[in-house]
Every structure is written in C-alpha cells, then in structure tokens.
Amino acid sequence: MTAPPSPRRDLSLLELFFVLRRRAGLIAAILAIGCGASLAATSLVPPIYVARALLLIEPDRGRPGETSGLGQALVDGAFVDSQVQILTSRSLARDIVLNLRLMEDPELRGPPPAPARLLTSLWERIAGAPEAGARPEAAEESVDDPVAGLVDRFLERLEVARQGRTHAIAVSFRASDPDKAARIANAVAEHYLLAQLATKIDGAQQSAAWLAERLAAAKARHEADLAALAEFRERRSAAGAERGGRDGERLAQLERELVAAGLEREAKEARIARLKEQIRRGEAVAPAEDLGASTLLQHLAALKAQSLRREAELKAEYGDRHPRIVDVRRELAELQARIEAEQTALLREQEGLLQVARAKEQALRRELERVAARAAEQERTEQELRALEQRAEISRRLYESYLGQVERTAQGEVVQRPDARIISEAVPPSAPAFPRPRLVLSVALTVSLIVALVAVYLAELAEKGFRTAEDVREALGLAPLAVLPHLPRRGKPAPEAWVVERPDGRFAEAVRGILASLQSPSTDGTGRIVLVTSALPGEGKTTLAMCLGRLAAAEGLRTLLIDADLRRPRVRELLGPEPRPGLVEVLRGECTLEKVLQLDPATGLVVLPGSQRLAQPTRLLGPEGLGRLLAACRTRFDLVLVDTAPLRAVADARLIAPLVDRAVLVLRWGTTARELAAQALADAPELAGKLAGAVLNRVDLRKAALWERPGSRAARLALAGYYRD
C-alpha cells in the first residue's frame, strides 16, 4: 500500500529563499521582540554622558627672567605620570566639590537604586562604557566627615589618563547631565592649573605688571566692543529695525496671495482651453458654468431646443424633404451660428480676465521679491548684532577674569603661568557614552537574527502537515489525485454549489481530475463504487463527496451518493433541514430504497442520506447490510460514492472497504499530521490495493506557493490561464 519515500534532495539557494519567505512573519516577530526588548532595556538605564578636557604638560618658557622647575629640566614620563596622580588626588577632588558646591548634588550624595545600578553595570560591560581607573589613594577620611563620601563618589566618576607616550593628559568625567559633565571636567583641569599657580612664588612683580598690562588691554577691548555695540544699535534703531516682524507677516501673506493668484490663473487657463476645445468640436457649453451668465446665449439655447422639438414633431408627420422640415433645419443652422458667435465673444471676455489674472500674479511676485530682499537684509543685521554682543560678552568675561587675578595679586598671592595648559576644553556631549542605542540595537539585531534563523529551522522541523503533492507521495506513498484550493466562504456559495455554478473554474477542474481517476471501467460493465474517507474529522471528505457526486451527475453519469457516516451524517444538509428516513432505516428494512432516495434538482444527483439515529453500526455496515445495498445499486448507477467516518475515529471505513472498488483519502492542507495519516493507513489493511490516491483539500494557493519548488511554481503559473476564476 505504501511506497518507500523518495530520497530528499539538497536544499538549493532558491528553495532556502522560499523557506525564509514563508517564515517571514516568524522572523519579523522575533526581530521586533528582540529589538523592542533591547530598546526597552536601554530606556531603563539612566544615560551617562562623558565630557573630556585635554591638558598638555610643557615647560613655561613664555617670559624671560622667569624660573620654573620644569623649565630647567626635561619633562619625562615619570613627571607626567606624577601629574596624573595629582589630578586624581583626594585633596584636589575635595577642593572641586567644595568650590562647585556639589554637596547637594543627587548623584554624589548617595548610590543609585539597586535596579539602575545593576543595569548600569551590565550595560558598562556590554556597551563598552568607560570605567574609572584604580585609585592610588585609599579613603582615609574621618567617618564624621560628610564630604568624604562625596569625594569617593566624585573620584569614581573621574578618569585621568595619559595619552600614550605623549605629554597630554585626558581628564574625563561621567554624569547624567552633559552640561554638568563638561563643567566638572573643565573645573578639574582649571583647578589643577590653579593649584600649580599656587605653588609659584617667583616673579610676582613681573607677573603683576604683565597681568596689569593684560588687564588694561582687556578693558580697552571691552570698552571698544561696548562702544561698537552701542553705535550699531543706534544705527539699527534709526534704520527702523522694528519693521522686521511686519516684513515677515507681509512675506507670508504675499506668498499665500501669490499661490492663490497662481491657482486662479491656472484655473482660468484650463477653463479657456477646455472651452476652446468644446467650441472647436461643436459641443454644447453650459453658459452659467463656463462662460458666465449670458441672457442672449440662454435665449438662443432655448430657441434651439424649441426648434429641435419642432423638427422631431414634423418628422413624425412628414418626410425628410418636406419644406417645413427644411425650414426648421435652416432655422437650426442659423441659431447654431449665432450661438457659436456669442460663445466666441464670451470666450474673448474670459481671455481678458485671464490677462488680468496674469498681471496680478506678476505684481504679487515682484512685491514678494522686494519684501524678501528686505527681510534678508534684516536677518543679516540681526546676525551682525548677535556677533557684536557675543564679542562684547567674551571681552567682558576676559576682563573680569584678569580683574579677579589682579585682586588676588594685590592680596599677596603670586601669579605665575602654570607648567600645563588646556589644549581642548570639555564641551557638553551630544550623545550619551552609554548605553549606546546604535551599538545595542546592532547587537540585539544580530542576536535576534540568529535566534530567528534557529526558530525557522525548528519550525521547519516541526512542520508535520502536508504542504505539497510531493509531501503526500513521499510520506504516504500515494498518488496525489488533486490539490483543491480553499474557497472563500463569506458571501460565496458552498463548494458543492461552486462546482455547479463555476464548472470551468480551478476548483471544478480539480474535482473533475479526481473523477477522471475514478472512472476506469469495471470488468463486468457495472458501475464503480468509491469510498471517500479521511484520517481525522474536519478534513472535508463529505464536501468532496458532494462535489464529486454533483459534478459527475451534471456531466451525465448516473451517480448515487450514500452518507454512510452513521454518527455524524452531513449529506442531508444538501437536501434540507427537515427530518427524513435514511440509510439506517433502509438497512434495517423499515423503508424501501425508492422511498428514501432523494434527487438533487440542480444536477440530477441521487442521494441516500444518513439517519439521525444509531443502531448497531457493525452489523449494518457488513456484507449482509450495506453489502447487499451496494450490490443492488451497482447495476443501477454508473458511480456510487460512499461517504464514511474518518479512519482514526471509528472502524466504519474498515468495514466498508471490502465492499467497494476504489477508495480516496482526503487530507487537509497544513493540518493533517503526516504521522497520523500514515498510522491511519497502517491500521486499515483492508484499504490495501484499493486506494486510488489522496486529495489535498482546502489549500491556500497563495501560501502554498511558498512551499512549492521553483519548477512547480512556474508550471502552476503557466497553467493558471486555463481557469476562469
């Protein structure tokens, strides 16, 4: 009964593409879940911004007469490393905390919550967040000192590192606020420089003189900048800068008016072009709609309509050459000529209005250009004002900075240039250092893609249903008789009605192919008896039996359909809901066959319906019961279809199998498990040698194309033109 499965071929690239295509929904779902989870986890992690300032250690050789320990000796790597230790010292950190008033800072007052700390630590390892280096100095502060804890947490967020073998030192600080990170990084660098300045005691007078000179220059520059700014503001006020806002409103208004004028002009051009074409073709033009209100044109149109009615009335009484009809036609010609002349005059009037619209549009465009030029000039003036204000602010800050140093010098502090300088100030970072959404998303996308591919592989391994006709041949060793497409049920006829209403459709042709496989002539010239069954309920065996019976009867075969499913008879639904005697009554001898048989008026199919009661199915379906009935029907009908119960449900099909000539197994596409179908056939040895093949039912052709091999898909597309649905 079963043939050995054919060897599986290697999976080609094209078939692999179809595997991925039919699992596109699974892949998309896994990718969406993975990326969504990564983004959700990223949103839970508080962002950390890292700002970096760059210091350069170099001797101070700027002014003659100054002495510097670093200026007298060569800067070596050990000295640069020592400066790194100074930058990470607790004393410097304490000064910064106190000077910047960070005692009330929430990030330094206490550790973050446990979940946030855990997520932050995890993202630091995955996303590559910067980690603070080992601190050379242990926290030996007094327990009663409230600043000690702040200093510890400050040093945890501070990172100072030498840049390779250079004399440059990078000072980085981590904070949840980018502005604060940049401010503190710059403060660390500035405090380090100020600490160096505090150690300088030489050249106080020269430094004070130099500083006073710089202060005077800064003051003069600041005063010059203020004077330039005041002069510019005075000129700008005299020029009437307050009109900038009105120019902007006027510019927007002109743009709207220009767009409206352009649309009006285009509408008039289109209407005139359409009217010219209608007049050229001799078509009627509605005066009020296209040419405006014209009493004369309306009067001429009314006269023309009256003449047309007179012509129609005269034609009913006289011939085409009657003088009265000739007069009416002459009158119609004159009216048509006057109508065309009036339409031409009105068209010229519309063209004059078009010229007015074009002139209005040109005037608006010139006014728009003038106002736009004036607005641009105003914008340039605003930019120049902002530049002057910014320059004055910079000179003010510079002046105040020098003034503060002069005041400290006057109090006895020594001013000296440090042995280091800031070569790159810290600026607020535009993006957090971690978590990095792009990196996290790329990692999540990669992992999700790997998981999706594994899921696709497992889904393919878990695919147990029949998807193609080749699956039927390989799993069961049966010939695939047909692939029946799934018919839409909403608002459409049932399949048994579909084969009659659309006999040239794809579904009917597939059923006709099954019928051709079952119509081989019998040896004694009598009709064929065919058993229709399935492995499980709900696979469409009853529907297929109805379709086969109606199609065979419609094509002229004497066909009998017997509903032998004694437990769930459904063929009676084709005949109507009213209760009638059926197969059980005939087999028990309570009714004659002629009394029970019913005729399908649409096709001539003869139906022996099932009964609503059960009575010893084993005895009724044996040779003495159903066997005698089939023997009597064989001589009266060309084809007898027996719809029976599923193989895995009860043993009815096994009892009926010895009484029939052929059998058809119905399998539902994508639902019937291959192992269950094979086991059902193995448990029914009575069907051996009688199975004509299997029918793959309710196939979603759009989805089934994803399981087809490239050659089968091309063949199916080529044959699609033979069907009319």
Q: Please give the average per-residue pLDDT across 288-298, as a whole number.
A: 60
Q: Answer with the residue of higher pLDDT: 186 or 432.
A: 186
- Decide: 46 and 397 in contact? Cβ < 8 Å: no
Q: In 3-state terms, the chain is what percent helix, strand and coil (to 5)?
A: 60, 10, 30
What angle do the packed helices 323-410 and 244-281 form, to 10 degrees?
160
| Low-confidence winner among 154-168, 303-317, 709-723 (lowest mean pLDDT) | 709-723
Q: Answer with the residue of higher pLDDT: 51 or 58.
A: 51
Q: How confident is the model at residue 292 (pLDDT cuts 50, 70, 90)?
A: low
Taking CB atoms within 8 Å and a gap of at least 24, the contacts of 588-593 are: 588/615, 588/620, 593/629, 593/632, 593/633
Distance (Å, whole) CA 409 – CA 400: 14
Side by side, which strands form the sheet with 598-599?
480-485, 691-699, 662-668, 528-534, 639-643, 559-563, 606-608, 598-599
What separation in angstroms does the CA of 275 have from each of 338, 344, 407, 568, 665? 17, 10, 89, 73, 71
Q: Is the pLDDT of residue 213 over 80?
A: yes
pLDDT of residue 171: 92
| Low-confidence winner among 120-134, 277-291, 371-385, 396-410 (lowest mean pLDDT) | 120-134
422, containing H or E segment: strand 420-424
Q: Please give the average per-residue pLDDT across 420-440, as a whole number.
A: 83
The residues with which 598 forms a beta bridge, in sequence order, are: 607
| Low-confidence winner among 119-123, 308-312, 641-645 (lowest mean pLDDT) | 119-123
pLDDT of residue 159: 92
Per-residue tokens: 673 = 């498990």
| Low-confidence winner among 163-172, 219-228, 694-703 (lowest mean pLDDT) | 694-703
Would you say the C-alpha torsion 542, 544, 545, 551 has a positive or negative sign?
A: positive
The helix/strand/coil state of 101 is coil
* Residue 577 burial class via C-beta count within 10 angstroms: exposed 0-12, middle 13-18, buried 19 and up: exposed
Q: How confident is the model at residue 1 (pLDDT cuts 50, 70, 90)?
A: very low
Q: Answer with the residue of higher pLDDT: 331 or 188.
A: 188
- The residue written with tokens 């005697």 in the block is 581
Side by side, which strands form the sheet with 420-424?
158-162, 168-175, 49-57, 420-424
Report the percent of the chain where pLDDT is more than 70.
Answer: 78
Distance (Å, whole) CA 238 – CA 261: 36
Q: Is the pLDDT of residue 491 over 80?
A: no
Q: How confident is the model at residue 381 (pLDDT cuts 50, 70, 90)?
A: confident
Q: Is the pLDDT of residue 613 over 70?
A: no
DSSP 302-360: HHHHHHHHHHHHHHHHS-TT-HHHHHHHHHHHHHHHHHHHHHHHHHHHHHHHHHHHHHH
Per-residue tokens: 558 = 């004497």
**Among 174, 163, 200, CA closest to 60:** 200
pLDDT of residue 54: 92
| Low-confidence winner among 141-155, 646-660, 700-714 (lowest mean pLDDT) | 700-714
The helix/strand/coil state of 581 is coil
Q: Please give the average per-residue pLDDT across 326-342, as a whole number.
A: 79
What separation in angstroms does the CA of 511 have from each of 36, 471, 514, 545? 48, 20, 5, 10
Would you say the C-alpha torsion 60, 61, 66, 68 has a positive or negative sign?
A: positive
| Low-confidence winner among 293-307, 406-420, 610-624 (lowest mean pLDDT) | 406-420
Separation of first and last alpha carbons in the chain: 36
Whether the link from the prior residue into 435 is cis, omega within 30° of 0, is yes
| Low-confidence winner among 11-20, 109-118, 270-279 (lowest mean pLDDT) | 109-118
Distance (Å, whole) CA 633 – CA 623: 14
DSSP 189-226: HHHHHHHHHHT--S-HHHHHHHHHHHHHHHHHHHHHHH
pLDDT of residue 63: 46
pTM above 0.85, yes or no: no
Q: Is the pLDDT of residue 134 over 60?
A: no
Per-residue tokens: 30 = 């896994």
- The residue written with tokens 């242990």 in the block is 138
DSSP 8-34: PPPPPHHHHHHHHHHTHHHHHHHHHHH
Distance (Å, whole) CA 661 – CA 518: 9
pLDDT of residue 704: 66
Distance (Å, whole) CA 367 – CA 261: 13
Distance (Å, whole) CA 524 – CA 25: 56
- Decide: 272 and 356 in contact? Cβ < 8 Å: no
**Among 106, 255, 78, CA closest to 180:** 106
Q: Please give the average per-residue pLDDT across 536-561, as a whole number.
A: 87
Q: Is the pLDDT of residue 367 over 60?
A: yes
Q: How confident is the model at residue 566 (pLDDT cuts 50, 70, 90)?
A: confident
**Among 587, 567, 593, 711, CA closest to 659:** 587
